[in-house]
Chains A and B, each alone.
Chain A
């Protein structure tokens, strides 16, 4: 997030797009509710009539995968109506004149023809966002899990740059991170393009720094993403070490994923349960859980916070850092013999300019948000105050592209996937929590009543849903949360492996899968005719 969580209570206008925040980030959503109670106005763009949509002043029911068109249409209106912040544009941005040319044809009527949202509503949203003093954008995977995820984010940045909504309280472009330490994973250098602290690997000076620190020669080339690595299993990739990820259930195109992992010569999985992924491994190593380990998590607002061991692990389970270090030492690697997480975190801080001002002891109180460039620096709750890190903010000349697959006679419905409040990801944890299982015992497919009637489905009955990659059977729930022509399910239940269906395409830059759009066909089935959901069997 460009701005701290506390800023969520401060905007005059809130624009939520592709975020089901009351379910996926419920505690953050309480901050927005406080802002609304104070009188803030809210625009929500989402294909589904989610809880946030019910709370909104303006709800824009967009067709899945059409976000860029909506955002270009809004930018057109902001320019046309003279709502652009000319001082901010003159002093802090570049490319405005080219953007104005680029937006010429991106009228709200053009946007309506793609998004299905009436032009008048698009105009109203643009005027509301563009004329407020403090407007903040919040988004989640509904923006990024598309083949055009990068263009979607760039289009959001255009809106904030046009209206000067950066670097001040209650503004910004704010992605809500989905996992407790997904920010920390990137910060720590678990990326194919960056060393720790987001230092690019293809920069010779960075390479020299890490060659010296790590005592070995290093490639100047970027690595490959996990998506590419899975594609190359059995061809160029022959061994994997997977720590705490249930790849088989969480990733798109499940059949492809299982085949990839099975074609490895050596697979080592570190986890707390024998997940569907661990079942494929040659070696499974038992890790400590969150309540049994010391370390640091980094949250969505870049805040570094200590996690502390409260109970002893079961049996012989050991901390992840210890397990990785032990494998490394048996391979003769140096610099991997740590006896606690403290020197590991301190090494990360020493090598990362964004963490240079802290160490394990200073992180103890949880008050630091990076960047913390030097000792004594208070941290940076709000990014882009005064100036952008790279100088001026650049406008992007984005354009709309169709999703990788679009609906047709064979696959006439859009499937979009997501999360539910009670379950978390692939349910390795929440599926083993008794109370949660009572609250949400099974997956359902959310279908608009008129679609249900059209395809012969009924509430509580079963449907077989197929895509170009596979089929799953799922119980039907008729609801007006789903618009006509679009159905919804979460990917959380291994018994209803929705990711058998997904995987039509990937963003060419980030390699993020288009998990939010998948054309499907649905038909009623008798419950007894269900497919067996045997994930990893032959």
Chain B
């Protein structure tokens, strides 16, 4: 029998699916989610969760998760890259396009799934970087 000394930890957070915003506790052990418990005092859900919020968390640990940056090579294939290489390639590409086509040639699409801090950074990236409002989020489709 395997004996584990690891401790179970509970983290209060908000469901990542729809816009209702159910409060829940993530129960974790060994850096993995092992259960989701509803928050009985959650202002939006009062202890309720749906089938997605209650059970559909195993994607977090799915082997398909991206674990390192990818950069397209000259043959057209996405290849593993270091963060430094990938960030430099990303930045250089935007600078090149701005130089060739002007600052209205760059567009940002923010996510309805990421925290507000990511959305704020996306709009600031476009506004500080290019002086435009060429930014939207995925609420129109």
A residues lining the B interface (CB < 8 Å)? 5-6, 24-28, 30, 176-193, 195-196, 201, 210, 214-219, 221-227, 229, 236-245, 247, 250-252, 265-266, 268, 271-274, 278-279, 281-287, 289-301, 303-312, 314-321, 323-328, 330-331, 333-336, 338, 341, 344-345, 347-348, 366-367, 421-422, 424, 428-436, 439, 510-513, 515
Contact = CB atoms under 8 A, between A and B. Distances in A.
A306 B12 CA distance: 9
B53 to A, nearest CB: 7
A338 to B, nearest CB: 8
Contact of A336 (B33, B128, B141): B128
Given A226-B137, A295-B114, A333-B128, 7 more contacts: A28-B44, A179-B138, A237-B107, A286-B67, A287-B114, A311-B31, A317-B66
Given A192-B136, A271-B66, A327-B91, A321 B117 contact: yes
Given A244-B111, A306-B13, A310-B26, A300 B52 contact: no
Nearest to B104: A236
Nearest to A302: B21
Interface string B63-105: 0111111111000001000010011111111111110110011
Contacts of A176: 19-20
B115 A512 contact: no
Given A271-B66, A327-B90, A432 B58 contact: yes
Interface string B16-44: 11111111001010011100000000011
Contacts of B109: 226, 229, 240-243, 245, 247
A424 B120 contact: no
Nearest to B108: A241
Nearest 10 CB-CB pairings of A with B: A315-B67, A295-B115, A299-B21, A177-B19, A244-B111, A223-B133, A290-B16, A190-B110, A179-B112, A266-B93
Contact of A305 (B17, B23, B50): B23
A214 B127 contact: yes
Contacts of B59: 289, 428-433
26 contacts: A180-B15, A181-B113, A184-B119, A185-B111, A190-B123, A215-B128, A219-B132, A219-B133, A239-B106, A243-B114, A245-B109, A250-B138, A283-B69, A287-B66, A292-B60, A296-B115, A299-B20, A300-B20, A320-B121, A330-B90, A330-B92, A338-B121, A344-B121, A366-B14, A424-B17, A513-B141
Contacts, number: 455
B83 A283 contact: no
Given A289-B60, A512-B140, A284 B78 contact: yes
A195 B52 CA distance: 33
A180 B21 contact: yes
A310 to B, nearest CB: 4
A533 B12 CA distance: 40
Contact of B115 (A181, A271, A331, A511): A181
B89 A184 contact: no
Contacts of A216: 128, 131
Contact of B19 (A180, A292, A428): A180
A226 B109 CA distance: 7
Give the interface centre of B19, B104, B126 by most chain A CB atoms within 10 Å: B19
Given A27-B20, A320-B121, A307 B68 contact: no
Contacts of B126: 223
Nearest to A271: B66
B111 to A, nearest CB: 3
A316 B67 CA distance: 5
B54 to A, nearest CB: 10
Contacts of A334: 128
A344 B122 CA distance: 11
A396 to B, nearest CB: 21
Contact of A422 (B48, B51, B96): B51
Contacts of B69: 283-286, 316
Contacts of A265: 93, 96-97, 100
A319 B121 CA distance: 11
A210 B52 CA distance: 40
B35 to A, nearest CB: 11
B136 A190 contact: yes
A513 B141 CA distance: 6
Contacts of A219: 131-133
Nearest to B115: A295
B29 to A, nearest CB: 10
B116 A184 contact: yes
Contacts of A26: 50-51
A237 B135 CA distance: 12
Given A238-B100, A421-B51, A336 B93 contact: no
A185 B43 contact: no
Given A226-B140, A511-B140, A291 B13 contact: yes
B6 interface: no
Contact of B105 (A221, A238, A321): A238
Contacts of A287: 66, 114
Nearest to A221: B133
Contact of A178 (B19, B95, B101, B123): B19
A270 B87 CA distance: 11
Contacts of A331: 91, 94-95, 129
Given A27-B45, A27-B49, A238-B100, A244 B113 contact: yes
A262 B68 CA distance: 23
Contact of B137 (A182, A221, A236, A239): A182
B56 A296 contact: no
A190 to B, nearest CB: 4
Given A190-B136, A192-B134, A273-B64, A268 B93 contact: yes
A488 to B, nearest CB: 18
A179 B117 CA distance: 16
Nearest to B81: A283
A281 B110 CA distance: 16
